[in-house]
Amino acid sequence: MTPHPPPTTRGPDLPRLYTFRRCPYAMRARMALLQAERAFEAVEVSLRDKPASLLALSSKATVPVLQLPDGSVIEESWDIMRWALAAPDAQGWWSRAQLPANLDLLQRNDGDFKHHLDRWKYPQRYANETLTPDAHRDSALEVLLKPLEARLHSAPWLGGATPCATDLAVMPFVRQFAAVEPEWFATLDLQSVRSWLNGWLGSPLFLACMHKLPAEGATRFPLL
């Protein structure tokens, strides 16, 4: 996907990210912008009372949404990551993410894993499901976490010796999965995944991305 054509009016002076602190899609966008040292301002979105400016920019009105200074809009988290990291990509964060194995993990994460994670974490939202929450939990393990463990057993990051955009894209969802039942997650045979996850959770990049924004207005987001 590519950004929308610029409208007739200018955008903000800095790229403006509409975000929600706990949303994993928004986390991956914020981390990519920070890693790329892209100055941006951010608006914390209340999911129950979305700002009119967001509704005017995006028909989907779900975070993250990035408005560029030329007025164009990027509505998907992976596309925001591409915009942040792909040019000039001097450190290879984007190019390493384009390896077939990493694109496969991204598809698994954003597809079946997210499907099963939601139905395990929020069973009350899916009252008509035929599978039990625990069945969805077990399917999530099979579709992503076991393949991820195999990958991380042989290299510390999905980029190999150094991280890549896929690490940033997948980690927030693994964090969400691990937080549903932390004591149970700690018993799983996923030692490499836990080490990788804990490393990211304590990293300056993740801690910076979790900067708490004011409830209203656009605020320049602090860089690393």
Please check whether residue 210 is in contact with residue 216, taking contact to mean a CB–CB distance below 8 angstroms: no
Please state the φ and ψ torsions of residue 114, each to the nearest 5 degrees.
-60, -40
Does this model's pTM top 0.85? My answer is: yes
Place of tokens 């986390």: 27
Per-residue pLDDT of the chain (224 residues; tens, 9 = 90+): 455 544 546 789 999 999 999 999 999 999 999 999 999 999 999 988 999 999 999 999 899 999 999 999 999 999 999 999 998 998 999 999 999 999 999 999 999 999 999 999 999 999 899 999 999 999 999 999 999 999 999 999 999 999 999 999 999 999 999 999 999 999 999 999 999 999 999 999 999 999 999 999 999 999 99
Please check whether residue 10 is in contact with residue 70, taking contact to mean a CB–CB distance below 8 angstroms: yes
